[in-house]
Amino acid sequence: MQFIASGRARLTTEVVGRGTAVVFLHANVCDRRMWRAQLDAIGATQKAVAYDRRGFGETRAEPEDFSALADLVAVLDAAADGKPAILVGCSLGGRIALDAAIRYKSRVRALVLIATNVAGAPDPTYTPDIEKLMTQSKQAEASGDLDRVNAMKARLWLDGPLAAEGRVAGAARDLFLEMNGIALRSPPYGADVDIRPFFDRLGDVAVPTLVVWGDLDFPYVQERCRHVAAVVPGAEKREMSGTAHVPSLDRPAEVTALISEFIARHAG
């Protein structure tokens, strides 16, 4: 474990193994533990790194305006041995990884993007059935009942809006609820003031890139991932069947295999 200073934050960071740094960036409904299986497997041959962003997991931060990208750079400074790193990001973690590849080209060796967010992408549109679920989610948030909100987040992001509620059960669901529960109850930590739209700059990504998404995820997320794969030069793509927004939780072995194979070709 390392505790990496960035501004008024101490980013709780886990490092496993030695070799090329592979830095994992979690989704906005999880923390670094969403990558447990990948850290253990990839840490056997490379240096696998995962950290909790501000407001998540075990990281502690005093309230301040901040840059999530600068936090990532602090982690790279501490853990990447001065060499370019492979970045693996899910959802908002993917957005930060993509941003780094565009703005800090020399720091990034390759990208794995899972259900990635993209700053400046078009606003999502919903089918009537998904719109109903989104309304229920907003009602849960308005109620102030955080357990109800947490259950709804699991319904939308773990099960997927196109799947039955409770599709993912057992330890994976328990971990999701624990991770997101911490985030929901996090004290105020400030605002990310360094978000620059780059949807129209995806062609500037100049590193090997793998884009992954699940066919049970929101349709707009799937379409966004297809767009990224089509526009980033030379990007590879993989649609996973029977999973949604955080496949590392319910399909860990398959996600590990995808990332491991990609890393084997690009770790250098």
- How confident is the model over 153-195, as pLDDT tens digits? 999 999 999 999 999 999 999 999 999 999 999 999 999 999 9
Is there a single domain that holds both residue 70 and residue 19? Answer: yes
Task: Kindly report the pTM of this predicted structure.
Answer: 0.97
> Stretch 92-119: mean pLDDT, rounded?
98
What's the confidence (pLDDT) of residue 267?
A: 82
Environment class of 192 (CB within 10 Å of its CB; exposed 0-12, middle 13-18, buried 19+): middle
Q: Tokens representing 70?
A: 């600068």
Domain that residue 118 falls in:
2-123+188-266
> Stretch 18-36: mean pLDDT, rounded?
98
Is there a single domain that holds both residue 32 and residue 104? Answer: yes
Is there a single domain that holds both residue 42 and residue 94? Answer: yes
DSSP state of 165: T
pLDDT of residue 133 exceeding 90: yes
Beta strands in the chain (DSSP E): 2-6, 9-16, 21-25, 47-51, 60-61, 85-90, 108-114, 209-214, 236-240
pLDDT digits (tens, 9 = 90+) for 226-255: 999 999 999 999 999 999 999 999 999 999
pLDDT digits (tens, 9 = 90+) for 46-100: 999 999 999 999 999 999 999 999 999 999 999 999 999 999 999 999 999 999 9
What's the confidence (pLDDT) of residue 243?
A: 98
Domain total of the chain: 2
Computed over every residue of the chain, the mean pLDDT equals: 97
Q: What angle do CA 171, 59, 111 make, to 5 degrees?
A: 75
> Stretch 215-235: mean pLDDT, rounded?
98
Is there a single domain that holds both residue 43 and residue 105? Answer: yes
Q: Tokens representing 34?
A: 């969403």
> Stretch 186-210: mean pLDDT, rounded?
97
CA distance linking residue 19 with residue 48, whole number of Å: 8
